[in-house]
A and B are shown apart, each in its own frame.
Chain A
Amino acid sequence: MNKHAAPDLKAAHIKGGVATDQRHDSAHKHVTGTAIYIDDMAEPQGLLHGCLGLAAVTHGSIRSMDLSAVRSAPGVVDVLTAKDVPGENDISPTGRHDEPVLADGVVQFYGQPIYCVIAETREQARRATRFAKVEYDEMPFVVDVADLDPLKDKLVTPPLTLKRGDARTAIRKAPKRIKGRMRLGGQDHFYLEGQIAMAVPGEDHDVLVYCSTQHPSEVQHMVAHALGVPNHAVTVEIRRMGGGFGGKETQGNQFAALAAIAARKHRRAVKIRPDRDDDMTATGKRHDFVIDYEVGFDGDGNIHGVDFMFAARCGFSSDLSGPVTDRALFHCDNTYFWPAVHARSAPLYTNTVSNTAFRGFGGPQGMVGAERVIEEVAFALGKDPLDIRKLNFYGEIGDGKDRNVTPYHQPVEDNIIQRIVAELEESCQYARRKRTIAAFNANSRYVKRGIALTPVKFGISFTATQYNQAGALVHVYTDGSVHLNHGGTEMGQGLYLKVAQVVAEEFQIDLDQVKITATTTGKVPNTSATAASSGSDLNGMAAQNAAQQIKDRLIDFAVDKYQVPRDQVIFLPNRVRVGNQEIGFADLVKQAYLARIQLSAAGFYKTPKIHWNRDKGQGRPFYYFAYGAACSEVSIDTLTGEYVVERTDILHDAGRSLNRAIDLGQVEGGFIQGMGWLTTEELWWDAKGRLRTHAPSTYKIPLASDRPKIFNVRLAEWPEAGEPTIHRSKAVGEPPFPLGISVLHALSDAVASVADHTIFPNLDAPATPERVLMAVERMKTQFAGG
């Protein structure tokens, strides 16, 4: 990438266009250690370092804060507190004014930042925090949402209700009814590169902030807000993150704001890089839920109505909890048609860190609720859950409107789940293996196996309609090389590469002629977060639009100069055919420059068709849906609850993929991350409300040896986006994540075998070995007693 081999002017195809497998643009730099992350940048002279001082109580008012010993510690230059924030002491991303940069008087969770040490070295800043003397008047706290009443207790943001039909009556009149509750844990992002920001002061009020963020525009706005300066004074830049997963959508704001405040105050560059423990303690995570459900169904397994309450631990502030809990409801149907549905969210206030975006953004939690209902129905009827799933799928394309309306009244018009599941069911030999497993279990006393095939339907678009816009900036230089910039950020997902492929394709030039450049608010303004799987959809279209503008000007120029009709100007690989002659792309560009043609363009895109009325709970929040399915088989040890994933097969829909190699990586990685969420990744608070799992020694994400022993992952060859997305591809960042639900259900199936599938396992998540063993014990006790 970005090498300068002379383009082949006779090539039949360009190198690196869309729908080709390209390596990550930074792969070479990754493996040699030369990819520069913010902490690797050459440091400005006089750089200072910040370290957050964290509160040591879960809820309380600060009676006194004596920081004199901190100030006099070696190397300390300053200690910032709430009163040092020159603008507004608030970084609430949704404008609810409930999230201070530094707590002012009241502490609302253990580990909330209350001051920030600025010192000559990072180590000096860290060590100085040991000398703070802070006294609190402690107040009662609540940490666990199971202790709360979702209808009465304090919420951080207004709840949502989705309603279609009369669910209460449908459930009451159904031949069978089940009520249940499930606990579903949260998840730490565990991006390998932690949060980091470095602010460099300029002249006037200016500050340049390098921040590991998925949302540079928001960081810009938050920094300006905290500094009390116009947005134009703040520029935010990010070349790459070492992982984001939603954890850098809003969580970088605090570090950026503090670095900028200190940089402005001291006229020196300031870097803040919290250590892993502080990062995991003081930044938000995936929302955990208590899901209450009731379902009415008949003897065949047709579901007549469902009622859900999704109660979420949101933490002390709203952050993104509104849209996250909304998206949980948007996915409480997963791939199923609920004839009557009533679903409510309760975004509850707790004295914990404010939970935030995480890959799937509440959607996976909603889907776990849907799959739990399916599992309950299957158990009640003694049927294979897969049969219940298929029975309740949304109608297929062309089936009419009887069975295709979601709980939010958007029709599902692109449903392909039947074919995805049918193909996967056959390729993974589900039925045969199910029988083999039953035979194995009959003869195995200690080890039991289980299998489950679960589907995924994921809605694509930001539910806040205004975020579904994007900008791009494309320059063509006189040697025919191209500078590409857009509002999307690179966190490893290959967005930069995919958008570059789109631009290369548009100009019909080799990919290495396109230079990918760092995202900066100075080039493309007012951008949306790189989130909601929307990166390629939005930025690819915006970049294509910019390239098209330049291309149109080049065509106009050629038509004029060579006096040919428009349809005789054709962009071929690395060259342009004009009438009967072929001109190298670079040559044509040079000629256009001499003729004073503008060779730079700002592109723009906004997603069509979408709208959403939250008050009514109706609209079309999603442009389209992405689909997939996974089948997982596990073995459990019924003496300890330990398990292994024996095999997983996945068939996933990425539409007409821009880059199958990159998309496959998203599917594999998404599945493993989803599996981790539901198995070994456990957040644990002690009786004092302190999160005690704040480092990899205590918080266990999957290892290479946790991935399925056999792992067959395929992208379906045949789907394409039903809407005119960028080259008919589909978003692929989040949709594979909930494929991990198959592992939870396979574990549940294995547990159920202990009681011959007669007792519902009631397995909560994360299904740690402990939860598996305790579920096995319940099976044994009830089975013996029953």
Chain B
Amino acid sequence: MAKPKVRTELRFLLNGSDVTLQDVAADETLLDYLRLRRSLRGTKEGCAEGDCGACTVLVGKLSGGKLVYESVNACIRFLGSLDGCHVVTVEHLRADAGGLHPVQQAMVDFHGSQCGFCTPGFVMSLYGLWMRDPDPSVAAIEKALQGNLCRCTGYEAIVRAARAVSSYGAAKKDPLAAERKSVTARLAALRDGKRVEIGAGKQRLIVPASVDDFASILKKEPTATVVAGSTDVGLWVTKHMRDISPAVFIGGLDGLRAIAEENGVITIGAGVTYSEAFGLLAKRIPALGPLFDRIGGEQVRNMGTIGGNIANGSPIGDTPPPFIALGARLTLRRGSKRRTIALEDFFVAYGKQDRRPGEFVEAVHVPVPAKSSRFAVHKVTKRRDEDITATLGAFFLTLARDGTVASVRIAYGGMAATPKRASAVEQALLGKPWTEATVDAAIAAYDLDFTPLTDMRATAEYRSLAAKNLLRRFFAETSGTKAPVTVTRQEAA
């Protein structure tokens, strides 16, 4: 294809103003830009790794022509990913009549701040929640706040405030709501179909014009850093001070952001975020709903992509095991050439994937399990929410009419150098009656499949034992027991 036209400046909206930047480094974060270049110091740095939420801002983007605001972590969000977006910081909040915004007023009245350092982040997360859910349940509040740490209040006052926001003002009266039309138009006007290229040498950033453009860029520059949600690459910069130039920002490419079901297979574009995928996946494969609710915090789910979770090859990524258990396939693309492989074959060894130079993950195809089968995925962590997997097991079982195991696929994360099938366990179950005795007998096979490591998240002994017990849990929940099979955090009555 013809090379698209090139623009050498980044354009986005910040609160009420237009921003045009020619001097942007590939690794310049939104947080540093706000604090250092714009002296907008309401947004704080607490951890610089997307875990504490003190830097939470909203980013509005056009999604299928519709303006959607999402909470994100400014600390690991690169400026390069913001072309054509609207950044909203705490400084922009106000009530329709001026003064404190309803979220802010509720936080004041319910004593939701003590030291106050985390507070602007909480305010922004609650603001993002209130926009889409003006009268949220406690469960919705807790979910929206999974990515916000507070060390002072114990959260109770913040949750009380969040529950009360609706009595402080209507979301449709929000000044930002009133600006939606004009912002939508302004953002649409920023989308000129051009590739953005800024800088040279060690400070180059590229925002491709399209997926085809991205494919040609990567083919030409196979060592470029591909940045989608930056929930991983962000830390390469903030924590490891790595150079990422040239960085190619693909998070805004519509061609990678489709998710749709066809013939019982859900195809997820590599740029689809956890939040965007949640609706369809949780509906069609219900076991994935609770899992997605425990990946990162809300901000990370709004940024992080499923494609990135697969492409980075981490042994503790949470989407590969369930997708492998379901028999997902992966489409890789280089230039205009595509190939599709079994997802499990993508993970070759620690830090090594079946991705050739210039090739990128374009989509993952996840079969929807048949109603007659059983599918479950269980994640075990030190802290229930916003924590990285110690062990995660996914189980996909189909029984024959006689109650024997007709097919079974089991995959784990956190147990090996890659996401990995429990092949020996599967063999031990296959063809046997699905009974507790069969499960008990199969447990020993785990030691043939896995030799987990000890690290700060768990010892090898715990990983091994908990992994085995997840099969017991899976058996229990498929065997019709009425007693609870695990602890749950439901909304308090």
Query: Contacting chain A: which of B204-212, B347-355, B367-375, B481-489?
Result: B481-489
B21 at the interface (CB under 8 A from A): no
From B47, B54, B488, residue with most partner A Cβ within 10 Å = B47
Shortest C-beta distance, A320 to chain B (Å), equals 20
Residue from A277, A491, A702 within 8 A of B115 (CB atoms)? A491
0/1 string, B457-493, CB within 8 A of A gives 1: 1110110011001101100100001011111111110
Shortest C-beta distance, B136 to chain A (Å), equals 12
Shortest C-beta distance, B62 to chain A (Å), equals 27
On chain A, the residues within 8 Å of B18 by CB distance are none
Q: Are the C-beta atoms of A703 and B113 separated by less than 8 Å?
A: no
Query: Contacting chain B: which of A132-140, A325-333, A666-674?
Result: A666-674
A39 CA to B481 CA in the complex, in Å? 56
Residue from B145, B476, B488, B492 within 8 A of A704 (CB atoms)? B145
Q: Are the C-beta atoms of B241 and A32 separated by less than 8 Å?
A: no
Q: Given contacts A23-B109, A644-B489, are A701 and B116 in contact (CB under 8 A)?
A: no
Residue from B116, B156, B383, B485 within 8 A of A26 (CB atoms)? B116
Q: Which residues 658-680 in A have Cβ within 8 Å of B in the complex?
A: 661-662, 664-665, 668-673, 680
Q: Given contacts A637-B487, A639-B469, A668-B154, are A192 and B118 in contact (CB under 8 A)?
A: yes
Query: Contacting chain A: which of B37-45, B249-257, B416-424, B426-434?
Result: B37-45
Residue from A24, A34, A241, A692 within 8 A of B111 (CB atoms)? A24
A636 at the interface (CB under 8 A from B): yes
On chain A, the residues within 8 Å of B386 by CB distance are 703
Nearest B residue (CB) for A247: B151
Q: Given contacts A130-B241, A695-B51, are A665 and B485 in contact (CB under 8 A)?
A: no
Q: Are the C-beta atoms of B154 and A707 separated by less than 8 Å?
A: yes
Q: Are the C-beta atoms of A243 and B145 separated by less than 8 Å?
A: no
Nearest B residue (CB) for A684: B456
B311 at the interface (CB under 8 A from A): no
Q: Are the C-beta atoms of A446 and B115 separated by less than 8 Å?
A: no
Tell me if B's interface is mostly helix, strand, loop or mixed.
loop
On chain B, the residues within 8 Å of A703 by CB distance are 142, 145-146, 149, 155, 383-386
Residue from A192, A668, A693, A710 within 8 A of B117 (CB atoms)? A192
Q: Are the C-beta atoms of A665 and B488 separated by less than 8 Å?
A: no
Q: Given contacts A447-B485, A672-B154, are A492 and B142 in contact (CB under 8 A)?
A: no
Shortest C-beta distance, A173 to chain B (Å), equals 42
Q: Are the C-beta atoms of A37 and B146 separated by less than 8 Å?
A: no
Shortest C-beta distance, B331 to chain A (Å), equals 30
Shortest C-beta distance, A679 to chain B (Å), equals 8
Shortest C-beta distance, B244 to chain A (Å), equals 14
Residue from B103, B107, B150, B159 within 8 A of A27 (CB atoms)? B107
B66 at the interface (CB under 8 A from A): no
A40 at the interface (CB under 8 A from B): yes
Shortest C-beta distance, B54 to chain A (Å), equals 6
On chain B, the residues within 8 Å of A696 by CB distance are 46-47, 49, 51-52, 149
Residue from A39, A641, A671, A701 within 8 A of B151 (CB atoms)? A701
A231 CA to B97 CA in the complex, in Å? 51
Q: Given contacts A31-B120, A192-B115, A240-B116, are A446 and B476 in contact (CB under 8 A)?
A: yes
On chain B, the residues within 8 Å of A127 by CB distance are 241
Residue from B108, B120, B378 within 8 A of A23 (CB atoms)? B108
On chain A, the residues within 8 Å of B385 by CB distance are 703, 705-706
A232 at the interface (CB under 8 A from B): no
Q: Are the C-beta atoms of B46 and A705 separated by less than 8 Å?
A: no
From A23, A26, A27, residue with most partner B Cβ within 10 Å = A27
Q: Are the C-beta atoms of A192 and B380 separated by less than 8 Å?
A: no
Q: Are the C-beta atoms of A697 and B388 separated by less than 8 Å?
A: yes
0/1 string, A635-646, CB within 8 A of B gives 1: 111011111100
Q: Are the C-beta atoms of A706 and B383 separated by less than 8 Å?
A: yes
Shortest C-beta distance, A363 to chain B (Å), equals 19
On chain A, the residues within 8 Å of B465 by CB distance are 773-774, 777
From A661, A671, A695, residue with most partner B Cβ within 10 Å = A695
On chain B, the residues within 8 Å of A635 by CB distance are 487
A697 CA to B52 CA in the complex, in Å? 9
A63 at the interface (CB under 8 A from B): no
Q: Are the C-beta atoms of A446 and B486 separated by less than 8 Å?
A: yes
From B35, B43, B48, B143, residue with most partner A Cβ within 10 Å = B48
A237 at the interface (CB under 8 A from B): no
Q: Given contacts A242-B44, A243-B152, A697-B388, are A637 and B383 in contact (CB under 8 A)?
A: no
Q: Which residues 85-128 in B have Cβ within 8 Å of A in the complex?
A: 89-91, 93, 100, 103-105, 107-109, 111-120, 123
Residue from B456, B466, B473, B489 within 8 A of A773 (CB atoms)? B466
A363 CA to B71 CA in the complex, in Å? 40
Nearest A residue (CB) for B154: A672
Q: Are the C-beta atoms of B142 and A27 separated by less than 8 Å?
A: no
A470 CA to B100 CA in the complex, in Å? 37
On chain A, the residues within 8 Å of B383 by CB distance are 680, 700, 702-703, 706
B157 at the interface (CB under 8 A from A): yes
Q: Are the C-beta atoms of B469 and A770 separated by less than 8 Å?
A: no
On chain A, the residues within 8 Å of B487 by CB distance are 447, 635-637, 642-644
On chain B, the residues within 8 Å of A277 by CB distance are 239
Residue from A192, A693, A713, A774 within 8 A of B54 (CB atoms)? A192
0/1 string, A233-251, CB within 8 A of B gives 1: 0000000111111000000
Q: Are the C-beta atoms of B146 and A705 separated by less than 8 Å?
A: yes
Nearest B residue (CB) for A449: B487
A494 at the interface (CB under 8 A from B): yes
B141 at the interface (CB under 8 A from A): yes
Q: Are the C-beta atoms of A242 and B156 separated by less than 8 Å?
A: no
A192 CA to B43 CA in the complex, in Å? 12
A700 CA to B151 CA in the complex, in Å? 11
A668 CA to B160 CA in the complex, in Å? 13
Shortest C-beta distance, A530 to chain B (Å), equals 13
Q: Are the C-beta atoms of A243 and B117 separated by less than 8 Å?
A: yes
On chain B, the residues within 8 Å of A123 by CB distance are 32
From A23, A26, A39, A640, residue with most partner B Cβ within 10 Å = A640
Nearest B residue (CB) for A710: B492
A668 CA to B158 CA in the complex, in Å? 11
Shortest C-beta distance, A261 to chain B (Å), equals 25
B455 at the interface (CB under 8 A from A): yes
A97 at the interface (CB under 8 A from B): no
Q: Are the C-beta atoms of B111 and A445 separated by less than 8 Å?
A: no
Q: Given contacts A33-B42, A669-B153, A705-B146, are A637 and B108 in contact (CB under 8 A)?
A: no
From A193, A661, A711, residue with most partner B Cβ within 10 Å = A193
B387 at the interface (CB under 8 A from A): yes
On chain B, the residues within 8 Å of A29 by CB distance are 116
Q: Given contacts A28-B100, A31-B108, A696-B49, are A447 and B155 in contact (CB under 8 A)?
A: no
Q: Which residues 128-185 in B have Cβ within 8 Å of A in the complex?
A: 141-143, 145-146, 148-159
Q: Are the C-beta atoms of A37 and B119 separated by less than 8 Å?
A: no
Nearest B residue (CB) for A490: B115
A144 at the interface (CB under 8 A from B): no
A661 CA to B155 CA in the complex, in Å? 14
A566 at the interface (CB under 8 A from B): no
On chain B, the residues within 8 Å of A710 by CB distance are 492
A447 CA to B481 CA in the complex, in Å? 12
On chain A, the residues within 8 Å of B390 by CB distance are 770
A126-B241, A704-B148 given; 17 more Cβ-contact pairs under 8 Å: A28-B100, A31-B112, A32-B104, A33-B120, A189-B151, A191-B151, A192-B52, A240-B115, A241-B115, A243-B117, A446-B485, A446-B486, A643-B487, A672-B155, A696-B47, A704-B158, A707-B159
| 6 A-B residue pairs with CB within 8 Å | A30-B120, A31-B107, A447-B486, A640-B469, A696-B46, A709-B489
B residues sitting closer than 8 Å to A (CB atoms) are 32, 35, 41-49, 51-52, 54, 89-91, 93, 100, 103-105, 107-109, 111-120, 123, 141-143, 145-146, 148-159, 238-239, 241, 378, 380-388, 390, 455-459, 461-462, 465-466, 469-470, 472-473, 476, 481, 483-492
For the complex of A and B, the 8 pairs showing the least CB-CB separation, nearest first, are A33-B42, A492-B115, A242-B117, A30-B116, A672-B154, A492-B114, A696-B51, A639-B469
